[in-house]
Structure 1
Amino acid sequence: MIKVVRGNPTPEELAAALAVVQARAAATASAASGAPRVPEDWSDPARIVRARARTPRPGPRAWSRTFWPG
């Protein structure tokens, strides 16, 4: 139920507002009843594992090679 709290809308204005509310409710209902959403690639935990597998690991004396004289 929709109640006008303030103002005095014309029947056309009220019909336009109700049409927008109904369209929004129908779009929300159809999106919720559809197929389950597939997670995006950025939120996939396997992505982190793949990225770490490709990065080179430092060797035993890597700390001595990190200084850049300048």
Structure 2
Amino acid sequence: MTIKVIRGNPTPEELAAALAVVRARAAALAAAPSGTPPTTSAWSDPSRIAQRRVPHPSPAAWTRTYWPG
């Protein structure tokens, strides 16, 4: 594995912390069963945003697409 610093001048401690996170994530992915789908957060679900019907087009429709009420 090769890590390349593009910008900045990190300290050895910062590089060690970043490498620890990357290695822990790789170990977690390697330990997960291969048949299970990856879990997704409800925040990334697009259907969460469109729970109501979109209003019909009108001059003020853009205000009702975001703000509740």
- TM-score in terms of structure 2 length: 0.47
More helix by share: 1
User: Which structure is higher in RCO with an 8 Å CA cutoff and minimum separation 6?
Assistant: 2
- TM-score in terms of structure 1 length: 0.46
Pair member with larger Rg: 1
